């Protein structure tokens, strides 16, 4: 068990962090904290040989990170033995800080990053919801971890949190769902499905690079942005022949139409013809 010394404390910084729930987020957070020189104790639901339980780890720490599934944050917080001076943190985008109400103080530290494998945190933005007492230390910690701090409103309401998290989810896993649809069309064309992702992903990267350089409307390309209604009609026909649902293609096509219109790429007749096709009229 790690012994904590008074000299380990620095102004505004915790003596030790407890990270409760050693899943995908924690496996990126813990090494990042350690690399930044922070003391970290890991608390597990089922502690085996040498591991700490959640309660033991939390009891020795000043900042207690609840990196458990969102739906279990409130119950985990309620089960811990809090003491004065501790700060509870979660890394959830969607969960209001009210879930941490049993703790003396609460903050949110939400990395805007999809963590599915060995990816680290560095380079991502991190949404920080904190009161005045802890915001400066959290902003400093974010920078020490190589993250870009994104101060969120404090307090941030449940509805705003849900919308913010829906945006983040759409930008990460939503893109994966779009690529899954593209892969299905690729296969319907008789091409090798194993080649779909390596061939298509650079298109996604290129579109992102263009969007960051020129904005979303400035970057939009393809038949809808060009007003090529004939090509769009052939796309929709191809889905029908393959027996694939065209719902996603139609919805995304309408969003592309809005971007192309905002960019001034289409005249009224072109936009009307494309909208009619996309709406199946």
Ligand X SMILES: NC(=O)c1ccc[n+]([C@@H]2O[C@H](COP(=O)([O-])OP(=O)(O)OC[C@H]3O[C@@H](n4cnc5c(N)ncnc54)[C@H](OP(=O)(O)O)[C@@H]3O)[C@@H](O)[C@H]2O)c1
How many residues does this entry show for the chain? Answer: 281
Report DSSP letters for 193-245, one per residue.
GGGHHHHHHHHHHHHHHHHHHH-HHHH--SHHHHT-HHHHHHHHHHHHHHT--
Task: Give the nearer residue to ligand X in terms of CB position, either 120 or 222.
Answer: 120
> Which residue's C-beta sits nearest to ligand X?
23
Q: How far is the CB of 20 from ligand X (least distance, A)?
A: 7
Task: Give the nearer residue to ligand X in terms of CB position, either 22 or 179.
Answer: 22
**The two three-digit tokens of residue 158, written as one number:** 């449940």
Contact string (CB under 6 A) for ligand X, positions 75-104, x = contact: -x-------------xxx------------
Q: How far is the CB of 182 from ligand X (least distance, A)?
A: 22
Q: How far is the CB of 240 from ligand X (least distance, A)?
A: 36
- Is residue 111 at the binding interface for ligand X, with CB under 6 A as the rule? yes
Residues 200-219 that bind ligand X (CB under 6 A): none
User: Which one of 8, 55, 72, 162 is in contact with ligand X (CB under 6 A)?
Assistant: 72
User: Which one of 2, 10, 12, 23 is in contact with ligand X (CB under 6 A)?
Assistant: 23
How many residues lie near ligand X (CB under 6 A)?
22
Task: Give the nearer residue to ligand X in terms of CB position, either 9 or 180.
Answer: 180
Of 18-26, 96-104, 174-182, 258-266, the window that binds ligand X (rule: CB under 6 A) is 18-26
Q: In what order do the strands lie in the sheet with 52-53?
A: 52-53, 40-44, 17-20, 63-66, 87-90, 106-111, 125-129, 148-151
Of 8-16, 99-107, 110-118, 208-216, the window that binds ligand X (rule: CB under 6 A) is 110-118
Q: Environment class of residue 168 by beta-carbon count within 10 Å: exposed (0-12), middle (13-18) or buried (19+)?
A: buried
Of 69-77, 176-184, 200-208, 242-250, the window that binds ligand X (rule: CB under 6 A) is 69-77
- Is residue 31 at the binding interface for ligand X, with CB under 6 A as the rule? no
- Is residue 44 at the binding interface for ligand X, with CB under 6 A as the rule? yes
The answer to whether 89 touches 63, Cβ cutoff 8 Å, is yes
Task: Give the nearer residue to ligand X in terms of CB position, either 92 or 270.
Answer: 92
Report DSSP letters for 128-177, one per residue.
EE--TTTHHHHHHHHHHTT-EEEEPPSS--HHHHHHHHHHHHHHHHHHHH
Q: What are phi and psi of 143, to 5 degrees?
A: -65, -40
**The two three-digit tokens of residue 1, written as one number:** 């068990």
Of 109-117, 228-236, 244-252, 266-274, the window that binds ligand X (rule: CB under 6 A) is 109-117
The answer to whether 249 touches 236, Cβ cutoff 8 Å, is yes
What is the three-class DSSP state of 192? coil
The sign of the torsion formed by the CA atoms of 44, 47, 52, 54 equals positive
Name the DSSP letter for residue 263. Answer: T
- Is residue 56 at the binding interface for ligand X, with CB under 6 A as the rule? no
Binding site for ligand X (CB under 6 A): 21-26, 44-45, 67-70, 72, 76, 90-92, 110-111, 113-115
């Amino acid at each position: 068990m790690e012994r904590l010394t008074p000299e380990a404390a620095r102004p505004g910084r915790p003596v030790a962090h407890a990270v409760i729930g050693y899943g995908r987020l924690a496996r990126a957070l813990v090494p990042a904290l350690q690399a930044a020189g922070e003391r970290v104790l890991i608390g597990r639901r089922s502690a085996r040989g040498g591991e700490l339980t959640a309660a033991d780890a939390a009891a020795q720490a000043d900042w207690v990170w609840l990196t458990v599934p969102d739906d279990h944050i409130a119950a985990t917080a309620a089960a811990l033995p809090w003491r004065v001076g501790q700060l509870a943190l979660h890394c959830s985008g969607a969960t209001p800080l009210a879930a941490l109400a049993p703790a003396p103080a609460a903050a949110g530290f939400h990395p805007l990053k999809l963590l599915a494998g060995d990816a680290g945190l560095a380079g991502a933005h991190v949404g920080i919801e904190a009161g005045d007492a802890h915001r400066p230390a959290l902003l400093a910690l974010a920078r020490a971890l190589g993250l870009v701090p994104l101060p969120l409103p404090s307090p941030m309401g449940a509805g705003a949190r849900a919308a913010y998290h829906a945006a983040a989810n759409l930008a990460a896993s939503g893109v994966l769902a779009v690529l899954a649809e593209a892969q299905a069309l690729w296969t319907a064309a008789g091409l090798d499905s194993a080649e779909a992702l390596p061939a298509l992903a650079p298109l996604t990267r290129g579109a992102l690079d263009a969007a960051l350089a020129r904005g979303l409307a400035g970057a939009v390309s393809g038949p809808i942005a060009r007003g090529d209604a004939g090509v769009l009609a052939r796309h929709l026909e191809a889905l029908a022949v393959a027996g694939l649902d065209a719902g996603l293609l139609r919805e995304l096509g309408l969003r592309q139409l809005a971007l192309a219109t905002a960019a001034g790429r289409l005249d009224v007749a072109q936009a009307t013809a494309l909208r009619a096709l996309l709406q199946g009229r």
